Chains A and B, each alone.
Chain A
Amino acid sequence: MTNILRFAGLALISFLLLTGCGNEPQRLPYLGNVEIKGADTVYHTVPDITLTDQDSQTYRISTLNNKIILADFFFTSCPSICPKVKKQMLRLYDRYKDDDRVVMISHTIDQRHDSVAVLNRYAHNLGVDTDKWKFVTGEKDSIFYLADRYFVSVIEDPLAPAGFDHSGRIILVDKARRVRGFCEGTDPESVTAFFETVDKLLKDEYQ
C-alpha cells in the first residue's frame, strides 16, 4: 500500500514538473559570447556594414525594417559546394517566399569577379525575387570580417577549387543582428531540421 502511494506521489510530481516546463516555450540560444556589462547583457552581433546588392542599391542590415535574416557566403563561379547550398537556400526561399518577416542574403566572397552585373545575372538565372533574396557584395575586408562574425570560415586559398575555401553554412540572425542558429547547406536533412529553428525564431520575435 505504501508503495502504491509513493508511486502515485512520484507520478504526480513528475507530471507537475513536466507540464510546468511545457508551459515555458524554449527560446533559441544566442550564439557567441555573451557579456554582462553592469545591468546590460551584451550579445554577439554581426556588424552593420554597407552592402551593395544586385541592383547597385547600397544598404545596411539595420535598414531592412526589422526582418530576420537567412544568410550564406558563396561565389558565382564556385565549382564545389555552392550549387548544393543554393539548392537548399531555394528550399528556404520556397518556404518563406510569402513571409515578409524573412529576408535572405547571399554574400559573394569573390569581389574581383562577382560584380553587381554578375550578381544580377546570377539571381536572374536562379529565378528568384530579389526583393526577398538579395545577392550582395561589399568591401572585401568587411565581407570577410562579416563572415567571421557569422561564424562562417572563409579563406582565400590558391590550392582550393577556384581559389576559395569556405563553409556552406546557412545562418539565422534575429532582428537585433544576433546569431540564433545555423545549418549545413550541403546537408538537406540539416536544412529540414532548420525549418523548425526558423519557425521558432519567428514565433519568438513577432508575438
Chain B
Amino acid sequence: MLFTLPYPLLTIFLLLFIGGCQPEPYSQGEVLYKYHCENCHMEDGSGLGKLIPHLDSSRLTLSDPAKLVCLIHNGLPVNKLTGQKMPANLKLNEVEMTNLVNFLGSKYAANPQTVIVTDIKKMLAGCQTD
C-alpha cells in the first residue's frame, strides 16, 4: 500500500519527481538566443576576438532591459575600428523579446531585472529607430 510508506520518504519522492520535471528557467529564451544571437556571440557568449564582444563585457547593457531591447531591435551600426556591425532584429515578437531579455538577464546581468510583456511593449515604443 502506498499509504504505508513513511511520509519523509514520500516527500523525497515527490521532490525528486517535481525537480526532474521542472524546465530550465527561461528555456524559450535560451532557444531564441541559439537561433538569433549564437552565430555571432557563440554558445558561451564569448564572441570573437575584438570583432564581436564577449557578452560578459556588457553587463551594463544587459542589466538594463530597456537598453537591451532597443539594442536587439535596432542593432548597431558598423564599428569603424572593427568593420563589424550588429544587424537589427525585427523578427522577434513581444513575447519572444520578453523571454530572450529575461534569459540574457539571468545569465549575464549583474542585477537581473525580470520583465513582462507589457514592459517590453513600452520599451519597444520608446526605442528611437533610424
Contact = CB atoms under 8 A, between A and B. Distances in A.
A64 interface: no
Contact of A121 (B39, B48, B82, B87): B82
A20 interface: no
Contacts, number: 46
B40 interface: yes
Contacts of B42: 83-84, 87
B48 A86 contact: yes
Given A87-B42, A121-B82, A79 B87 contact: yes
Contacts of A83: 39-40, 42, 48, 51-52
Interface in B16-40: 38-40
Interface of A is mostly: helix
A118 B83 CA distance: 8
Nearest to B78: A77
Contact of A87 (B48, B50, B83, B84): B48
A125 B48 CA distance: 9
A79 B83 CA distance: 12
Nearest to B38: A84
Interface in A29-79: 76-77, 79
Contact of A122 (B46, B51, B85, B87): B51
Interface string B69-86: 000000000000111110
Interface string B44-57: 00101111100000
Nearest to A119: B83
A92 interface: no
A125 B81 contact: yes
A80 B48 CA distance: 13
A32 B39 CA distance: 31
Contacts of B81: 121, 125
A8 interface: no
A125 B83 CA distance: 9
Contacts of B83: 76-77, 118, 121-122, 125
A84 B39 CA distance: 6
A126 interface: yes
A79 B76 CA distance: 13
Contacts of B87: 79
5 contacts: A83-B40, A90-B49, A121-B81, A126-B50, A127-B50
Closest 8 CB pairs of A and B: A126-B49, A125-B50, A125-B82, A127-B49, A125-B51, A83-B48, A83-B40, A121-B83
Interface of B: 38-40, 42, 46, 48-52, 81-85, 87
